[in-house]
C-alpha cells in the first residue's frame, strides 16, 4: 500500500468538525484500506482487539438503518457507513469458557471501539475527507442489531459516515481547558466560567442555525429523563454486563 499524502495530526485534530453533507464522489479502495489499517493500529486493552467494523454497502440495509437512526439522510447517502461493534464472539470461539459477561469486558469493548473509531476518523480527515458519528442508531438498539443480523456476544455501538465534504461548518466550541483538566484531583465546575461558556454556546447556535439553545438547555434535553432504558436488557440478552 502506497503512502497517501495527509495533513499533520495536530492540524487535523484541531480542525475537526462533524460533516453531514457529502458529495457523490466515492472513497477510493486505497484510501479506505489506509483508513481502516490506521484504525486497526489503535491501542487495545490486553491485546484482546474486541472490536468488529461492519462496512454497510447494501442499499436496503442503509435505508433500514436510516429509519432506525432518526432518519438522518447521510446514513443512507454517504460514501461509506461503518458500524463499530463490541466483538467477543471470536474470543468465545477461541476459548469456549471465556467469561465475557463481566461488566468490565463491556467497558473494555466500548473503550477499544472508541479508540479505534477516533483513529479512523482522524485519518480520514487528514486525507481530506469528513465524517460524523451516528449514536442515534442506539435509539432502537434491537432494530439496529436485527438489521445487521449480529450473533450473540456482538453488540453494535455506533455508526460513522465518511465521505468527501460538501459543507464547511463553523467549529462547535468545546469547554475551556480549565473545566476539563485539573491536577492531582478533581476540580469542580467554576460557575462564572460556565456562565461565559453557556453564552458562547448560545451565540454558536444562533449563528449556525438561528436556534434558541445554550449548553444548559442541551444538557437538560439530553440527561433530565430516562436515557435509552432498553440498553441494559439488550446487553444482557447478548451475553454482556450480567455481573
Please report the pLDDT score of residue 180 as a whole number. Answer: 96
CATH superfamily, domain 9-169, is: NADH Oxidase (3.40.109.10)
pLDDT tens track, the chain, 243 positions: 568 999 999 999 999 999 999 999 999 999 999 999 999 999 999 999 999 999 999 999 999 999 999 999 999 999 999 999 999 999 999 999 999 999 999 999 999 999 999 999 999 999 999 999 999 999 999 999 999 999 999 999 999 999 999 999 999 999 999 999 999 999 999 999 999 999 999 999 999 999 999 999 999 999 999 999 999 999 999 999 999
Report the C-alpha gap between 32 and 21 in whole angstroms. Answer: 19
Buried b (16+ CB within 10 A) or exposed e, 109-121: bbbbbbbbbbbbb
Please report the pLDDT score of residue 3 as a whole number. Answer: 81
Task: Dig out the grid coordinates for 129 from the structure.
Answer: 475527507
Domain boundaries, the chain: 9-169
No. of H helices and E strands in the chain? Answer: 11, 4
Report the C-alpha gap between 233 and 139 in whole angstroms. Answer: 14
Instruction: Please spell the DSSP secondary structure of 148-192, one letter per residue.
Output: HT--TTEEEEEEEEEE-BS--PPPPPPPPHHHH--SSS--PPPHH
| CB within 8 Å of 235: residues ≥ 6 apart | 106, 155, 241
Instruction: Indicate the length of the chain as a whole number.
Output: 243
Half-sphere exposure of 180 toward its Cβ, with a 13 Å CA cutoff? Answer: 5
Instruction: Please spell the DSSP secondary structure of 49-72, one letter per residue.
Output: --EEEEE---HHHHHHHHHHTTT-
User: What crossing angle do the helices spanning 59-68 and 141-148 adopt, rounded to 10°?
Assistant: 170
Amino acid at each position: 500500500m502506497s503512502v497517501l499524502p495527509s495533513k499533520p495530526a495536530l492540524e487535523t485534530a484541531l480542525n475537526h468538525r462533524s460533516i453531514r453533507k457529502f458529495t457523490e464522489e466515492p472513497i477510493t479502495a486505497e484510501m479506505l484500506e489506509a483508513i481502516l489499517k490506521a484504525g486497526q493500529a489503535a491501542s487495545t486493552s490486553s491485546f484482546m482487539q474486541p472490536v468488529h467494523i461492519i462496512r454497510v454497502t447494501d442499499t436496503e440495509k442503509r435505508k433500514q438503518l436510516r429509519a432506525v437512526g432518526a432518519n438522518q439522510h447521510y446514513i443512507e447517502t454517504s460514501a461509506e457507513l461503518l458500524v463499530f461493534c463490541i466483538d467477543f464472539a471470536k474470543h468465545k470461539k477461541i476459548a469456549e469458557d471465556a467469561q465475557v459477561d463481566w461488566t468490565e469486558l463491556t467497558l473494555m469493548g466500548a473503550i477499544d471501539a472508541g479508540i479505534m473509531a477516533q483513529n479512523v476518523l482522524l485519518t480520514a480527515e487528514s486525507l481530506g475527507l469528513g465524517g460524523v458519528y451516528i449514536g442515534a442508531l442506539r435509539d432502537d438498539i434491537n432494530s439496529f442489531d436485527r438489521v445487521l443480523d449480529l450473533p450473540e456476544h456482538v453488540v453494535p455501538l455506533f455508526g460513522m459516515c465518511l465521505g468527501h465534504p460538501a459543507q464547511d461548518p463553523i467549529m462547535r466550541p468545546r469547554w475551556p481547558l480549565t473545566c476539563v483538566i485539573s491536577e492531582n484531583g478533581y476540580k469542580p465546575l467554576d460557575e462564572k466560567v460556565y456562565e461565559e461558556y453557556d453564552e458562547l454556546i448560545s451565540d454558536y447556535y444562533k449563528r449556525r442555525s438561528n436556534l434558541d439553545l445554550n449548553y444548559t438547555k442541551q444538557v437538560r434535553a439530553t440527561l433530565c429523563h430516562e436515557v435509552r432504558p432498553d440498553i441494559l436488557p439488550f446487553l444482557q440478552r447478548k451475553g454482556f454486563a450480567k455481573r
